Chain A
Amino acid sequence: GQQLNQSPQSMFIQEGEDVSMNCTSSSIFNTWLWYKQEPGEGPVLLIALYKAGELTSNGRLTAQFGITRKDSFLNISASIPSDVGIYFCAGHFSSGSRLTFGEGTQLTVNP
């Protein structure tokens, strides 16, 4: 089946630093999504990418759909303490297929 490899597994950074995390797959994905999960809550959609090469921003967050359609990255600029949480990449292998999730990146921001 399709698998997503997400890295790094965890990050410990200082407030104000920029953050970068990525997701790769051995298969081509038609959609890349980035979710954030805070403690005790469900994942919340941050950014959705639908076209190879697409670069999309949402405030301090920027994500790109890799040109090969097998990878995506998420950048967070000028991190703040409320950025703490688990960030998941997810994707659709094809329209109508299940949503496949990466293993998640646990982000800790020290004030």
Chain B
Amino acid sequence: DAGVIQSPRHEVTEMGQEVTLRCKPISGHDYLFWYRQTMMRGLELLIYFNNNVPIDDSGMPEDRFSAKMPNASFSTLKIQPSEPRDSAVYFCASSYGQGVGNEQFFGPGTRLTVL
């Protein structure tokens, strides 16, 4: 398997622009997670899906952030409008299940810079 695939790997945009990050989970994995990593806050869980349904979005910072999973092989994280404080590395991860014994596999991340 190719592992979790994320695109783009790098994104530079200007404040106010819409940003869309993409993720393809490992085939057969029922759970998909979106994380954000910054120096100040470390790795933060933003939202996760089970069988394409959002289960917990309490980590999404504000209404400017939205995530969708239209099918089992694709998810997007959208920021609109983007702000400089959104600059971070965004990771997608997937797993067979949730919790003990169902470990998460991470993608390579998307490094977002908002100018």
Measured CB to CB, the residues of B under 8 A from A are 4, 33, 42-43, 45, 48, 56, 91, 93, 98-101, 103-109
Contact = CB atoms under 8 A, between A and B. Distances in A.
Which of A30, A97, A99, A104 has the most CB atoms of chain B within a 10 A radius of its CB? A99
29 contacts: A30-B100, A31-B101, A40-B108, A40-B109, A41-B108, A42-B91, A42-B93, A42-B108, A42-B109, A43-B43, A43-B91, A43-B106, A45-B104, A48-B103, A50-B100, A50-B101, A92-B99, A95-B99, A95-B100, A96-B98, A96-B99, A98-B45, A98-B48, A98-B56, A99-B33, A99-B45, A99-B104, A102-B42, A104-B42
A8 to B, nearest CB: 15
Nearest to B95: A99
Which of B33, B42, B43, B106 has the most CB atoms of chain A within a 10 A radius of its CB? B43
Interface of A: 30-31, 33, 35, 40-45, 48, 50, 88, 92, 94-99, 101-104
Given A42-B108, A98-B56, 13 more contacts: A33-B103, A41-B108, A42-B93, A42-B107, A48-B103, A94-B99, A95-B99, A95-B100, A97-B99, A98-B48, A99-B45, A99-B104, A101-B43
